[in-house]
Amino acid sequence: MVNRFDELQEGVISYGPCQFPTLGFIVDRYKRIQAFQSEAFWSIKMEYAEDDPRSPGGKARADFSWQRGRLYDHACCAILYEMTVEDGVAVVTSVEARRVTKARPIPMSTVELQKRASRFCHISSERTMHVAEALYQRGIISYPRTETEKFKREFDINTLLGDFRDNPRFGNYVGGLLDNGGFLWPREGRGDDSAHPPIHPTKSVDPNSLQADEKKIYELVTKHFLACCSKDAVGHQTKVLANCGGEDFTATGLMVTERNWLDVYEPFERWTGRNIPEFFQGQEFVPSVLVMDEGRTQAPPLLSESDLIGLMDQKGIGTDATIAEHIQKIQQRKYAVKNEQDRFYPTTLGLALVDGYDNIGFQMSAPTLRAAMELDCTRISRGEDTKEAVVERCISKMKECFQTCQALAHKLDDAVAMHFRPLGSSGGESRTVRGGRGFSRCGVCGTAMDLKKSSSGRPLLFCGVCDTGFPLPHKGKLTKQDPEFECPLCHFQARFLHVLVLSVSTGNDYTGSGYTVCPYCFNNAPAAHGGEGQSQFRCFMCSASCPLAKRVQGGDTTIVRCWKAGCGQALNIKRTRTGKYHLGCKGYPACSESTVWLPKNATNVSVTEETCARCSGPTAADAVRRLDFTFKFQRPWFSARTAKGRGGGGVPSRPERNEPTGTSPLNTSQSPRFPSLRNIDRFGRPLLGPNQGRQFYTCPRSDRNEQCTTFTWLDGDNRRSGRGGGRGGGGDGRLCNGHQEPCNFRTTRKEGTWGNQTP
């Protein structure tokens, strides 16, 4: 993908089963905001105030909320408002007073530390964990990576609290806990990893002796711990119901009577009282304010880091130890960034990737896949499932996702193309190099493509009509292939694209051997011809039937083990620059004595799944694989595929022979016991036959199209059962029938294809 768009030339693009759902949360909130349609609404607001010297400003004020909330019909709201105005007097229908509490926090886990550090201290989760690890290494706080939210009863909290009596920051508060009955055993949360206690301070330290972020994290951990050991805050709440013109209104007042843990947790946590006038049931009063308010609905805010951590924890994305890493990763990859309010919004790249993967299917930006994996891991830890079963299910699902992504990768490119300019486009930063006009032609539209350089300095071919760019190797001197050569693979598999192959030679920081490259295959590696998993595919890496392709289909498969003493490495099929096939030792050049040349006329050689029963040894390591041959001049009688049990390694069948008793190990200095490849000709035909050694006269013309039918055996037996012969001299004055020129005199080397025919 980075090779297809101008803006993506630098950086890394990756997919992770945790980082993408993390990005998905940010994108989902961003899209909800973008799609939000604000609507107007109306409501009735009523207030009542009276003099009260105890209240701020000398007034006690009750803000009544309309029980209908808001209406989206202006006329309807206006009618109801007129009814309240016409009445003009409100009547108290109910006064309810009760004791309320604000619960102290539960002991701190890693997720809660990250959330509170982000919300209260404005420190990122990644930085929080870094600072907490440093404090732990110095013995100031406990291990910061834990899911536990409860202290075990054997934990000596009183001794730990006693260490803080002399602390200049927390000493007075701790003294109140221990001496005035303010201590209460901490609440218990649900989390428990049975490995580490909740995060807490391990010794008393003056916060002012610490660095800036260390001080903030230490104070947060200590305040949270002390709050856990305190009692809940207590308040007195008054709820007043009133009716005016047939419409009901509610006002609530609060008086905090016992602050308890709030005293130590400020300013992080607050519980503010609201002083209202005293009301009694049946009381009538004239509202100080009675108006119809107009407002508009507002979109939800962007996610803060605390919000994001909460969503990840809720949906099972990542663990307490990895959540911070996933959030940091999507920022490093530039999928999402923070605004001035420390809230996340996706970048153009982040939007494009989520759109692309969602178009492919499986909702890969949703938390479903990863959450299922995390749940399975939890089930293993509880003994409810086995590791083998979970791994098998996971691999099966991920394989299905991977195969679908490979098959539908174009949908990802299409989605990214909606947000970024194609590589080499006029709106980008690419420029045409000198002499690059009309460097090659486009197979889609047939127009000339220009050779350009991208913003990162990489060469590419660009078609202005199709608005498509093809990145090329960034090192080496690029020239047109001479003579021009059209990639046959693209011709058959991508009919719309017929690009000319280019040559890459020494120069431009490249000192290796020259090679050729097809601009299309270079960026769209053919999986069926050795391109699977390749991002930059060169012609010599290809296994197709092409003169520029140097790799062999199945070239990594072991055909037979090298028989040179002390070697024992694999012999693989190799192809030379001239297109000739041979078996070569993987230990080359250290081992160069085991080369076996295959028939010269073979246009293609491939490895079969079969092994030769006669040539293979007793173990799997000693197996000899059979080969399939395709020849340029195939003879009717010749079978390229060897018969089972007769011959091996793709060698044609030949008459049976007596084999020596015993076996020769394939990793010794002896040759393997498969038929010698020296006894076949360049067409793959056996050299042994009934006419071997016989001499004959034939036409002297070397061009087969000009040769006449002259053929005479020297011994006078003119049954024409062979033609192949070694080079000979003149024909002792005999003239050929067709041209009346001196015949060639030859000696038969093999049995021919004309059987018992006579000249």
Active centre residues (catalytic) = 143
- Which amino acid does the sequence have at 98? R
Containing H/E element for 85?
helix 74-87
DSSP code string of 304-316? BHHHHHHHHHHHT
CA 119 to chain centroid: 31
Phi-psi region of 755 (alpha: psi -120 to 50; beta: other; left: phi over 0): left
Instruction: Give CA separation, 617 vs 65, 107, 427, 612, 676, in Å.
Output: 91, 68, 65, 9, 17
Tokens of 343: 């809230």
CB 247 within 8 A of CB 83: yes
State the Cα–Cα distance between residues 270 and 232, nearest whole angstrom.
13
Three-state secondary structure call for residue 505: strand
| Locus of tokens 């759902």 | 21
CA 693 to chain centroid: 66
| Locus of tokens 């003099």 | 51
Tokens of 697: 């006269």
Containing H/E element for 392?
helix 387-407
- Mind spelling out the 3-state secondary structure of 108-136? ECHHHHHHHHHHHHCCCHHHHHHHHHHHH
State the Cα–Cα distance between residues 445 and 665, nearest whole angstrom.
60
Tokens of 747: 């000696």
Closest listed residue to residue 48, CA positions, set 30, 35, 60: 60
Angle between helices 212-228 and 125-137 (to 10 degrees): 80
What Rg value do the Cα atoms of the chain yield, rounded? Answer: 43
CB 486 within 8 A of CB 498: yes
Say if strands 233-244 and 289-296 run parallel, antiparallel, or are unpaired: unpaired
State the Cα–Cα distance between residues 357 and 335, nearest whole angstrom.
14
Q: Residue 468 has what DSSP assignment?
A: E
CA 523 to chain centroid: 18
- Which amino acid does the sequence have at 330? I
Question: Percent helix, strand, coil in the chain (nearest 5)?
Answer: 25, 25, 50
State the Cα–Cα distance between residues 298 and 681, nearest whole angstrom.
85
State the Cα–Cα distance between residues 41 and 205, nearest whole angstrom.
54
CA 331 to chain centroid: 16
Burial pattern 724-753, b for ≥16 Cβ within 10 A else e, equals bbeeeeebeeeebeeeeebbbbbebbbbbb
Closest listed residue to residue 557, CA positions, set 542, 571, 576, 543: 571
Burial pattern 10-22, b for ≥16 Cβ within 10 A else e, equals eeeeeeebbbbbb
CB 139 within 8 A of CB 202: yes
State the Cα–Cα distance between residues 505 and 473, nearest whole angstrom.
11
Nearest-5° angle of CA 330, CA 336, CA 339? 135
The upper half-sphere exposure of residue 664, i.e. CA atoms within 13 Å in the direction of its Cβ, equals: 16
